Amino acid sequence: GVPVVALAGALGEDLGDYRSAGVAAVTSILPRPMPLEEAMDQGANLVRDAARRTVELWSAHPAVRGGRG
């Protein structure tokens, strides 16, 4: 299947069994703690930046680059 990464506003203590739902990883869009109002105002930018960081991290993995690992 196609790997799925979930981007969340924040991560709680109990993420549940997300892997059984077909989600490979879960990460927060917040690069630092911030007030809810600021996060809401910057939502589009936060999602865009988190998606970019996630793709960069994913692409750095040897298996994604065609190597073994």
The whole-model pTM stands at 0.75
Residue 27 DSSP label = E
DSSP letters, 1-26, are ----EEEES---S----GGGGT--EE
Q: Find out whether 9 and 26 touch, Cβ atoms under 8 Å.
A: no
Q: Quick: pLDDT tens for 9-63.
A: 989 888 889 999 999 999 999 999 999 999 999 999 999 999 999 999 888 877 7
pLDDT greater than 90 at residue 68: no
Backbone φ and ψ for 60, nearest 5 degrees, come out as -75, -15
- d(C-alpha 60, C-alpha 6), whole Å: 18
